Structure 1
C-alpha cells in the first residue's frame, strides 16, 4: 500500500482539479448566462448557458478517442499530462473572457471554445487515470483504490459549492453576477503547476497489466472485438451521470432560478451531495472487493436510485423545506456512489489492457455526452415548456430504467491480474 499511495493520491488529486475546472461552469451557469447570453427572459439565458455546458460534453468522446488511444499506445502518464494543458487552456479562456456587453458575439463564441477544450481534456482523463490506478493495484484492492477517483470527482463539486457559499455570503448579488463567478475559474488554473509536478513523479513501470507501446490503433480493435461491452457500458453510464448532473450540478440553478429559493441552499445541497459521495465511495469499494460478483451490488444501487428520483423531486418542489431538500439529495447520492465507483471497476475489467483506457474513456464520454450533457438543457426546456418543476423526473427516471437493463446484460469479467 505504501508504494500505491502516491500513485492513488497523484491520479486522484489532478483528476479532482480537472473535474472541478470542468464542472464549476454548471454551478455558476445562472450567472454565466446573464453575462454571456443576455436575453429578455432569464430562463432563456439559463437555457443557453446550460446548453453551452452540454456542448463541452460533445467533445468528450473525441478526447476519449485521442487521449485514450494515446494512453494505450504510448503510456498512461504521458496521456494524463497532455490532458492537463488542454484543461488549463479552456479554463483560462473562460476566466478572462469579457462579457457580451463589451465584445458582443465574440464573448459567447470564446466561452464555447473554452468549453470544447475542457471537453477534450475531460474526455480522456477518466480512462487514462483509472486505468493507471487499476493496473498498479492488486485485484483484491481495485474497488477500494479506484473509489478514490470517485472521491476526487465528489470533492470537485464540493469545492465549487463551498466557493459558491463563500462568494454568495461575502459578495453582493451584483458583484457575484458581475465578476465574483470568475474566481473559481481563476483558482482552477492551479492545475497547471500542481498537475505538471505531481504527474511527472508517477512511474510508468509501476503498472502490472499495462500495454506495451505499439503502432496499432486501439479504436479499431475496440470496435471490432469489444463492440457489445462498449455499447452496454455507455448505457450503464447514463444511470450515474443523469442523477449526478440533475442532483449535484443542476441543484444551485434549479433551486435559485426555478424554485426561487436562496442561492445558499442550492450550493449547500451540492455540498451535501458531494460529502455523501465522499463517504459512500470508499465503503462501496471495500464491499465490492469482498464480493465474488460486483453486478448484484450495482443492480441494487441502480434500482434504488431510479425509485428515489420521482419522490425526492416531488418533495423538493412541494415543500421548499431545507431539511427535505438536503435529505433527498443525500439519499440519491448515497446510491449513486456504488454505481459510479464500482461501475468503473467493472467496465475497466471488461476490456483487455490494449484497449482499456480507450474503452473506458470512450464509454464514459459517450454516456455523459448523450445523457448527462443533455440532462440540464432538456430538463430546463421541459420546465420552461410545462411550468412544472417536476419535469426533472420526466427525463431522469426513463433514462435510469434504460441504464438498469443495460447493466443487467453487461458481461462482468473479474480479472485476477
Structure 2
C-alpha cells in the first residue's frame, strides 16, 4: 500500500487542520480497520481446513457447509456491535470507540488461533470458535462505520472521496495479505502439517491488532465534530429510525450490491476452486490475491475521480449496472475454465466494479446523514447488510451448487441481488455538497 499525500492547500476544512494530523487520522482509522478485517476475513480463506478440524463430517461438502455457516455467525454480531459502538461514537467520540474495537478484535482472534481441535476437546472446540467469531463480529461491526465517519470529518470537503477511499484500500490490503499468506502456506507446507496447524499461522499474525491498534489510535486527539454533536445528541438510534429510516433502508440495499459479489465470489474463491472446480488450492488463493490487489489500488483512484465530479451518483450507477450485467457471463467463464486465466480475469472484472461502487455508495450514505448520527447510521446500515447478505452468501451459493450440481447456479443468487441494488441506487436522493 502506498502512502497518501496531503498538501497544505487542501486544509483546513476538517477537524485535523495540519497535514501531519490528517495523515495520522487516515492511517489510524484505515490501517487498524484493515488489520481488523484481516482477522475477520481470513476465516473464509481457510474455511475448508477449519471445517475439517472443528466440524468433521463424512461428506466434505457438509463439513464445508458447517464451516461457512460458522463464518456467518460473526456477521450476526456485527449489527449489535454497530448499534452499541456506533451510538457510543456519536455520543462520546470516534477515537474512544475505535480504541475499544481494537482489543475486542484481538481477543476474538486469539480464541480462533489457540483453540484445540474437535478431536482434542470434542464439542467445546466448535463452541469456542463460535464465541471467537461472535466477538470479532461485534468489534468490526462498529469499527467500519465509525472509522469511515472519522475519516470523512477529518479533512476538507474537496478530498472526501480520496480520504474515504483509504478505508477500502486498507480492507483490500487485508484481503491481499490473507490470500498471499494462504498461497504461501499452501504452496510450501506439506498437506498434513497444513491441516494440522499451518492454517493457524494467519490468525497468530492477526494478533498484531492489539499493540498496533491501541498504539496508533490512543495517540489521536479526539475530534471536535464528535464532541460538539454529542453535546446536542439525543438517542442516535431513535433519530435514525424516526427521521432517516428510508435512507438506511436504501443504503442497505445499495451496499448489498457490493457485499454479495465480494463474499460469494472473491472470498469464496479458494473453496470454490478446490471443492467445485477441483483445481489446486493455489488457484483460488491467486484469484483472491489478485482481487485484493485491485481493491488496494483502485479505490484511491476512484476517490480522486469522485472528488473531481460534482455528483457521486452517476458513477455509482455505472459501476452497479456493469456488475449486474457481468454476473452470468463471469460464472459461465468460471464453469468452463480449464486454466487459471479465465478465473483471474473474471474476478478482476468484479473487483474493479465493486471498488468504484463501494467508494461512491459510502460517500453518498455518509453525506446524506447529519454528523450527530453519522457514525451509528453508517455502522448500522453496513453491518445489517453484511449480516443479512454477506454472512449467508457463501452458505447459499454452496447450497445451490450442492443441491443442483450446477456451478452456474451461484449466479441465480448474485445477479438478482445486484439488480435490486441498482434499483435502490436509482431511488436514493443524493445530497449535493459544494466544496
What TM-score, normalized to structure 1? 0.98
Out of 71, 85, 93, the residue aligned to residue 103 of structure 2 is 85
Partner residue of 1:367?
385
Out of 48, 71, 75, the residue aligned to residue 30 of structure 1 is 48
Out of 238, 247, 256, the residue aligned to residue 238 of structure 1 is 256
- CA distance in 1 between counterparts of 2:254 and 2:51 reads 31
- CA distance in 1 between counterparts of 2:312 and 2:289 reads 28
> What is the Cα deviation at residue 398 of structure 1?
0.7
Preserved contact between residue 266 and residue 287 of structure 2 (Cα < 8 Å)? yes
Preserved contact between residue 346 and residue 414 of structure 1 (Cα < 8 Å)? no
Out of 164, 171, 174, the residue aligned to residue 189 of structure 2 is 171
Preserved contact between residue 210 and residue 353 of structure 1 (Cα < 8 Å)? no
Residue 32 and residue 210 in structure 1: after superposition, are their counterparts in 2 closer, same or farther (change >3 A)?
farther
> What is the Cα deviation at residue 291 of structure 1?
1.0
Partner residue of 1:204?
222
- CA distance in 2 between counterparts of 1:327 and 1:357 reads 36
- CA distance in 2 between counterparts of 1:414 and 1:133 reads 19
The superposition leaves residues 182-234 of structure 1 with CA deviations (integer Å, 9 ceiling, x where unpaired) of 01000000000010000011121365996234672210111101000010001
- CA distance in 2 between counterparts of 1:119 and 1:415 reads 33
Preserved contact between residue 56 and residue 117 of structure 1 (Cα < 8 Å)? yes
- CA distance in 2 between counterparts of 1:216 and 1:401 reads 37
Preserved contact between residue 226 and residue 372 of structure 2 (Cα < 8 Å)? no
Preserved contact between residue 87 and residue 236 of structure 2 (Cα < 8 Å)? yes
Partner residue of 1:331?
349
Partner residue of 1:319?
337
Partner residue of 2:403?
385
- Tell whether 2:212 aligns with 1:194: yes
Preserved contact between residue 74 and residue 214 of structure 1 (Cα < 8 Å)? no
- Tell whether 2:282 aligns with 1:264: yes
- CA distance in 2 between counterparts of 1:318 and 1:203 reads 54
The superposition leaves residues 48-94 of structure 1 with CA deviations (integer Å, 9 ceiling, x where unpaired) of 00011111111111100000000000000000011112111110111
- CA distance in 2 between counterparts of 1:20 and 1:279 reads 17
- Tell whether 2:302 aligns with 1:290: no
Preserved contact between residue 91 and residue 226 of structure 2 (Cα < 8 Å)? no
The superposition leaves residues 370-394 of structure 1 with CA deviations (integer Å, 9 ceiling, x where unpaired) of 1111100000011110111112111
**Secondary structure of the residue that 2:220 maps to in structure 1?**
coil
- Tell whether 2:25 aligns with 1:7: yes
Partner residue of 1:300?
318
Preserved contact between residue 54 and residue 369 of structure 1 (Cα < 8 Å)? yes
Preserved contact between residue 233 and residue 372 of structure 2 (Cα < 8 Å)? no
Deviates more, 1:170-179 or 1:191-200: 170-179
Residue 179 and residue 213 in structure 1: after superposition, are their counterparts in 2 closer, same or farther (change >3 A)?
farther
- CA distance in 2 between counterparts of 1:54 and 1:323 reads 30
Out of 333, 342, 351, the residue aligned to residue 360 of structure 2 is 342
Out of 253, 266, 269, the residue aligned to residue 271 of structure 2 is 253
- Tell whether 2:63 aligns with 1:41: no
Partner residue of 2:170?
152
> What is the Cα deviation at residue 415 of structure 1?
3.6
The superposition leaves residues 93-114 of structure 1 with CA deviations (integer Å, 9 ceiling, x where unpaired) of 1111111111111111110111
Partner residue of 1:115?
133
Gaps of 5+ in 1: none
- CA distance in 2 between counterparts of 1:221 and 1:37 reads 43
**Secondary structure of the residue that 2:49 maps to in structure 1?**
helix
- CA distance in 1 between counterparts of 2:228 and 2:51 reads 44
The superposition leaves residues 164-185 of structure 1 with CA deviations (integer Å, 9 ceiling, x where unpaired) of 0110111011111111110100
- Tell whether 2:85 aligns with 1:72: no
Give the number of aligned pairs: 417
- CA distance in 2 between counterparts of 1:320 and 1:55 reads 34
> What is the Cα deviation at residue 127 of structure 1?
1.1
- CA distance in 2 between counterparts of 1:270 and 1:116 reads 24
> What is the Cα deviation at residue 310 of structure 1?
1.1
> What is the Cα deviation at residue 360 of structure 1?
0.3
Preserved contact between residue 135 and residue 209 of structure 1 (Cα < 8 Å)? no
Matches within 5 A, 1:398-409: 398-409=416-427
Partner residue of 2:15?
none
Poorly superposed stretches of 4+, deviation over 6 Å: none
